[in-house]
Structure 1
Amino acid sequence: MRLLWMRRTVKEAVDWGRVHHQLLPNVLNVEKTVDTRLVRELRQRGHRVSELSHWPNDVMILARGRDDRIYVTHDYRRQTNTDLDGE
């Protein structure tokens, strides 16, 4: 969403704090890096929010830019290296 709708770079999209709702259980999981004002507002609207310090998975993005170049990045949260790290 951040890449396609909000016109962020692939790095900005991946680095942004994550939010996830699986419906059951009825809990909204947010990363500790998510803006505290947003978390407070979600709670005021009745959401049960759980702040997670460790996210159980990671993300990689590959996207074609408006200039037709391919942009790639990986999740900085990942504990191991990938080929995208240049190693």
Structure 2
Amino acid sequence: MNNTEMMETIAIQTNEDAMTIESILKSYEHYCNENITRYSSKHLAAIIDFITAETHLPEETCSKVMTQFFDTVKKQIKHKFF
């Protein structure tokens, strides 16, 4: 799944617009660049705090999108191996 497909999938699953998804995922990329060892879903609270502060989007929206992002990535990984 490429980036465009990922964004479209998350937009459909969360009922958020494409620009919101793109803003959140770009902010997540910034977070990952600054926090190289803290990028997994177990750091979701810190990730959401960072994204919310950077994008000024509601925490609920950021949480919904990032939860769906991690779920989608997990499904894609399982699909490739099983």
TM-score norm. by structure 1 comes to: 0.26
As a proportion of its length, which structure holds more helix? 2
Higher-Rg member (1/2) = 1
Higher strand share: 1
